[in-house]
Amino acid sequence: MKLELSFLLEKENETTDVSVSYDMTEISIGGTTYKRSASEPFNLTFYNDEGKKLYVSGSTKVSYVSPCDRCLEDVEVSVPVKISEEFDISDVTFSCNEEEGVICIQDNELDVDCLVVNEILVNWPTKVLCKEDCKGICPVCGKNRNLYDCGCDTVVLDPRMQQFQDVFKDFKEV
């Protein structure tokens, strides 16, 4: 959602809470699109510091559906969002430090989705597992090994290891 912020310019040294929502139902990361499964309205807290700076803070969680990296079953991934930004308001308009942050404000309107998306991208898990000890998919028969005990022989030797073994065998024969 977009939030008009002009009213905060007059609230010097005041703290203002505003309930906001994150409206994007999908996110694209590394070429994959993930569907949002949960997101709740949350509070953004604004503090106008002597008409010079406006501080914005707040936190929430957004959940997505993602396949497990090992067995490909759908998992709900909950991504923490922690917002902490500041804007220069000394010339009665909002401006960001362009070098430091992403610009989520335009014409005194804050783009809440923009703030939240940036946090989700930073906090997206590097690994998604349905459970710590997910057994994954059998490389031989392709079955989900959490559900089936297929009993395939999956001890496939790395060809380089095979070479080592051969060398070792030759050595023993000498």
Which chain residues interact with Zn ion by CB under 5 A? 68, 70-71, 130, 134, 138, 140-141, 150, 152
User: Cβ closer to Zn ion: 91 or 132?
Assistant: 132
User: Cβ closer to Zn ion: 121 or 150?
Assistant: 150
As beta bridge partners, residue 55 has 47, 86
Shortest CB 77 distance to Zn ion, Å? 12
57 with 111: CB under 8 angstroms? no
Vertex 20, ends 28 and 60: CA angle to 5°? Answer: 60
Find the DSSP H helices in 67-158: 112-123
User: Cβ closer to Zn ion: 88 or 149?
Assistant: 149
Shortest CB 65 distance to Zn ion, Å? 14
What are the structure tokens assigned to 6, written together?
């002009």
- Backbone torsions φ then ψ of 112, nearest 5 degrees: -65, -40
Shortest CB 136 distance to Zn ion, Å? 6
Using alpha carbons, select from 83, 103, 92 the residue that is nearest to residue 5. Answer: 92
User: Cβ closer to Zn ion: 98 or 133?
Assistant: 133
- Residue 107 has a CB neighbour count (10 Å cut-off) of 10
Shortest CB 67 distance to Zn ion, Å? 8
